[in-house]
Chain A
């Protein structure tokens, strides 16, 4: 149990376009999901906390207008990278809360902006 999926696993887009990444909890409901960014050979940096039915809470330094988060249901959160630029190229990982403090992670999405 506690499976989290992400789609797509890899995406290449042109500079200036927008990309949507989906995060789904497959076998449990998650009122809270998290979005992370992982740079090569570095740790995970929390970008935002996504709460079902309410606005996301962004970490300091993360542009909310650039990284749009929608948590429309208890099993789905989406991250849209708007007007993507090469510096947005990264590995984006989501996690879903199960229980009080445990997070289960998705497999990640590799975004490359050309």
Chain B
């Protein structure tokens, strides 16, 4: 079974600092990769997704990820955070080659607090 792990449970940053959230998955086959954000009191929103092609993916709000297949990782990065980036961030994968390919497996989430 596939699993997803996020390295940090909590991250505290100051505005303008750079952000990198780690995410690794365990599955040997083809995967689709997702990063979601959950702002306080709001629903999950898709930040970016990777299906195939260029492993460097740019998402919304200045976020990006680089899929490193050899390391089974797709860390989330943002060069300069803002106070409004305070949220919880989840990475997730699904395995399109499997019968249950639509099912998402989520990481444990990382709470990010950006101090003004």
Interface on A for B, CB 8 Å cutoff?
4, 32, 34, 41-46, 49, 93, 95, 97, 100-108
Q: How many A-B Cβ pairs are below 8 Å?
A: 48
Binding site for A on B (CB under 8 A): 32, 36, 42-46, 49, 51, 90, 94, 96, 100-109, 111
Please give the distance in Å from B21's CB to the nearest CB on chain A: 14
User: Quick one: closest B residue to A108, CB to CB?
Assistant: B43
13 contacts between A and B (CB under 8 A): A32-B102, A34-B103, A42-B109, A43-B90, A43-B106, A97-B102, A100-B102, A101-B32, A101-B94, A101-B96, A105-B36, A105-B45, A106-B43
Inside 8 A of B100's CB, which chain A residues have their CB?
A: 49
In angstroms, Cα B102 to Cα A49, docked, is: 9
CB distance from A24 to the nearest CB of B (A): 13
Contact A43–B101 (Cβ < 8 Å): no
Given contacts A32-B102, A101-B32, contact A93 B108 (CB under 8 A): no
Sorted from nearest, which 4 A-B pairs have the closest CB atoms?
A: A107-B43, A105-B44, A43-B106, A43-B108
User: How far is A84 from B49 in the complex, measured between Cα atoms in Å?
Assistant: 37
The complex places the Cα of A41 from the Cα of B109 at a distance, in Å, of: 8
Given contacts A49-B103, A101-B96, A103-B104, contact A93 B109 (CB under 8 A): no
Residues of A within 8 A of B42 (CB): 107
Chain B residue nearest to A103 in the complex (CB): B104
**Least Cβ–Cβ distance between B12 and chain A, in angstroms:** 16
CB-based contact B103/A102 at 8 Å:
no
Is A101 within 8 A of B103, CB to CB? Answer: no
Are A44 and B106 interface neighbours, CB within 8 A? yes
Q: Please, which residues of chain B bring their CB within 8 A of the CB of A41? A: 111
Extra pairs beyond A41-B111, A43-B90, A105-B36 (18, CB < 8 Å): A34-B104, A42-B109, A43-B107, A46-B105, A49-B103, A93-B43, A95-B44, A100-B96, A100-B102, A101-B51, A101-B94, A101-B102, A102-B46, A102-B49, A104-B46, A105-B44, A105-B45, A108-B43
Residues in B with CB closer than 8 Å to A32 are 102
> How far in angstroms is the closest Cβ of chain A from B96?
6
Q: Give, as a whole number of angstroms, the nearest-CB distance from A22 to chain B.
A: 15
Partner of B44, one of A42, A46, A93: A93
